[in-house]
Amino acid sequence: MRKIKLDKSIFNDFYWLNEPKKYYFENELVIETEPQTDFWQRTHYSFENDNGHALLTNFSDDFSFSAKFKFEPQTKYDQCGIMVRIDSENWIKISTEYENQEISRLGSVVTNLGYSDWATEDIGSEVNSLWYRVSKRGNDFLIENSFDGSKWSQMRITHLHQDFEEIKVGVYACSPKNSSFKAKVVEMNIDDNHWEAK
């Protein structure tokens, strides 16, 4: 397993998609989201948004990528987590989206050929720290979460339909409403694929 150092050296391998105006390092990466930023394509809401903040690197082989987040959401839909991306119409995001003071939505969005889905379960909004992990096997992906970074719970298995030779993975944060919040990336790890073959 390779632990990613969360300082300016990260830009040797990672790069911004929609760089936020304000972010900084203090033994963790702190992203201050900009208002009206989101990743979503068409389904139900009709709009197409691809302006959230994402810090990504490229992979051509199978992998497992995990990250720990702390978050202080302020407004409905404030979110941060992991992103896997081919292009604007083919991607996956894994996060907890703030709903209100009582509940938030732990879930994932899978966007295939320009249409997003959203699979969720309710968790208490007092939860403000979580691990997420995505493991790639070809065009298939295992999505998991953990409260301690050791015991992992499966969220879903999914597939990206668009063929690719290289794919991007990393962390993201956004605030779809007219708001901003601090998303803190505490740890990022790249590892061999943890997902056992059939």
Counting the structural domains of the chain, the total is 1
CA 62 to chain centroid: 18
Q: What CATH number should be reported for the domain holding residue 163?
A: 2.60.120.200
pLDDT-based confidence at residue 44 (cuts at 50, 70, 90): confident
In a domain, 197, yes or no: no
Task: State the average pLDDT for the chain.
Answer: 96
Q: Check pLDDT > 90 for residue 198.
A: no
In a domain, 142, yes or no: yes
pLDDT-based confidence at residue 55 (cuts at 50, 70, 90): very high
Beta strands in 76-137 (DSSP E): 79-87, 90-98, 103-112, 115-116, 119-124, 129-137
- Residue numbers of the domain that contains 19: 2-191
In a domain, 40, yes or no: yes
Between the alpha carbon of residue 165 and those of residues 4, 46, 54, 81, the distances in Å are: 24, 30, 20, 24
Q: What is the tens place of the pLDDT at every residue in 177-195?
A: 999 999 999 999 999 998 8
In a domain, 196, yes or no: no
Distance, CA of 13 to CA of 15 (rounded, Å): 7
In a domain, 198, yes or no: no
Q: Output the pLDDT for position 132.
A: 98
pTM for this structure? 0.96
Q: Output the pLDDT for position 43.
A: 87
